[in-house]
């Protein structure tokens, strides 16, 4: 059995936290989506009142609906649900055993944060109204990006190290899809050890 490290990029506790936070966004986004689908008559906003409905009925919202064929809030709800599914998938070793899964997770989380931030900016600059539920989902998106960043970055660093070690595209491709090798295992162990040592020094334990 190899050395056990305290640092774990794919720690289950962190992934469960991601699921919990994403679930909040699923509920909020679904609530707004029901209004955009005209299944409910109004949206409750304790901060901006009717401005939320102005945002959801705005020209920007209609354009997005034409582009995506679905209300933007519904698309957001689907994306947050995807975050939950990707966060739960795989073991605590998935960052090195299934890099493709971690990077797919990153593609779902990180672009969504940019989209949410952009839509919030459009509220004030283009629509001229603000939406408190939208601000909640934007805050959730940014939080999820921060929580997912380290795992995604570590998987990418592993692939880069395997490439530098082998200079073999096929080998890197196999590692990406989870094919086990001693080289990938060695580089993963070195990477984790270095990250753990840096954390220990930062915390004064080194």
Taking the domains of the chain in order of start, what are their residue ranges?
12-149
Give dist(CA 1, CA 200) in Å, integer: 23
- Please tell me whether residue 52 adopts helix, strand or coil conformation: helix
Residue 1: band (very low, low, confident or very high) from pLDDT cuts 50, 70, 90: very low
Please state, in angstroms and rounded to a whole number, the distance separating the CA atoms of residues 38 and 135.
Answer: 21
Residue range 106-148, pLDDT digits in tens? 998 888 777 777 777 777 777 788 889 989 998 999 999 999 9
Range from 13-22, 53-62, 66-75, 191-200 that averages highest in pLDDT: 13-22
Q: What CATH fold (topology level) applies to the domain 12-149?
A: de novo design (two linked rop proteins) (1.20.1440)
Whole-structure pTM value: 0.86
Distance (Å, rounded) from C-alpha 93 to C-alpha 102? 10
Q: Hunting for tokens 């539920």 — which residue is that? A: 133
Structure tokens at 30: 């679904």
pLDDT 10s digits, 167-182: 999 999 999 999 999 9
* Residue carrying the six token digits 């936070």: 21
Q: What is the pLDDT of residues 137-162, one digit of tens each?
A: 989 999 999 999 999 999 999 999 99
DSSP string over 134-203: HHHHHHHHHHHHHHHHHHHHHHHHHHHHHHHHH--HHHHHHHHTT---HHHHHHHHHHHHHHHHHHHHHT
User: Helices 132-166 & 182-202, crossing angle to 10 degrees?
Assistant: 120
Q: Retrieve residue 149's tokens.
A: 């960043």
């Amino acid at each position: 059995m190899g050395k056990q490290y305290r640092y774990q990029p794919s720690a289950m506790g962190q992934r469960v936290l991601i699921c919990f936070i994403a679930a909040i966004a699923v509920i909020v986004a679904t609530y707004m989506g029901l209004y955009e689908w005209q299944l409910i008559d109004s949206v409750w906003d304790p901060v901006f009142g009717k401005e939320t409905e102005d945002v959801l009925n705005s020209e920007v919202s209609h354009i997005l609906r034409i582009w995506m064929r679905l209300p933007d809030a519904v698309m957001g709800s689907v994306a947050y649900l995807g975050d939950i599914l990707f966060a739960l998938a795989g073991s605590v070793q998935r960052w090195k055993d299934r890099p493709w899964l971690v990077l797919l997770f990153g593609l779902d989380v990180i672009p969504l944060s940019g989209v949410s931030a952009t839509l919030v900016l459009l509220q004030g600059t283009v629509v001229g109204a603000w939406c408190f539920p939208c601000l909640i989902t934007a805050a959730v998106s940014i939080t999820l990006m921060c929580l997912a960043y380290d795992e995604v970055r570590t998987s990418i660093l592993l692939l880069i190290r395997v490439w530098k070690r082998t200079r073999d595209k096929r080998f890197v491709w196999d590692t990406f899809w989870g094919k086990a090798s001693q080289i990938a295992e060695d580089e993963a162990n070195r990477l984790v050890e270095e990250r753990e040592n840096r954390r220990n020094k930062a915390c004064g334990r080194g």
